[in-house]
Amino acid sequence: MGEELKQLHFDTIDQVLDFAISKEEEARDFYLEWAEKVNNSAIAEVLKEFAGEEQKHKDLILDVKKGGDFRPVAGQVFDLKLGDYFVQIGPDEQMSYQEALQIAIQREIGAQELYKFLQTQSENPRMKELFEKLAREEAKHKLRLEQMFDEDVLTEN
């Protein structure tokens, strides 16, 4: 995603926020689509849960766009870095729980990178805080997924 990020250009804060909204919608739709396609109900439930989290991010950005406030976050999120070692894979209807977790972790890494990039590109302190918050939220999702992977996949093998 690094090269793709460098090519992004926005003229207004609204354009940045609209782009972030579209990325959250894309993530939500991805999780909902695959929740319907997979043959494993446990995987479907995890995917639906993450769709709900992405919807919360979209709602937050929409609220900020309308002038609403948000609470900045403090502290660091621990990174297990499991996702750093995964080979890129794509979803399919027969994917295992392990594969679903891997794909979700990869998506959260991409989202976190996007928000960190948008934070560095913003000159507006409020937008910097928003993108920091969103990057941290994606990091929390990644951590949770990596913990699930560690507990449910690695301990089985």
CATH label of the domain that carries residue 24 = 1.20.1260.10
Range of the domain at 63: 19-68+82-154
Q: In this structure, are residues 9 and 19 in contact, taking their beta carbons and an 8 Å threshold?
A: no
pLDDT of residue 22: 96
User: For residue 97, is it within any domain?
Assistant: yes
pLDDT of residue 1: 52
3-state secondary structure 94-154: CCCHHHHHHHHHHHHHHHHHHHHHHHHHCCCHHHHHHHHHHHHHHHHHHHHHHHHHHHHHH
Q: How many domains does the chain have?
A: 1
pLDDT of residue 81: 76
Q: Is the pLDDT assigned to residue 7 strictly greater than 80?
A: no
Q: What is the pTM of this model?
A: 0.83
pLDDT (mean) for 10-39: 92
User: For residue 76, is it within any domain?
Assistant: no
Q: Is the pLDDT assigned to residue 156 strictly greater than 80?
A: no
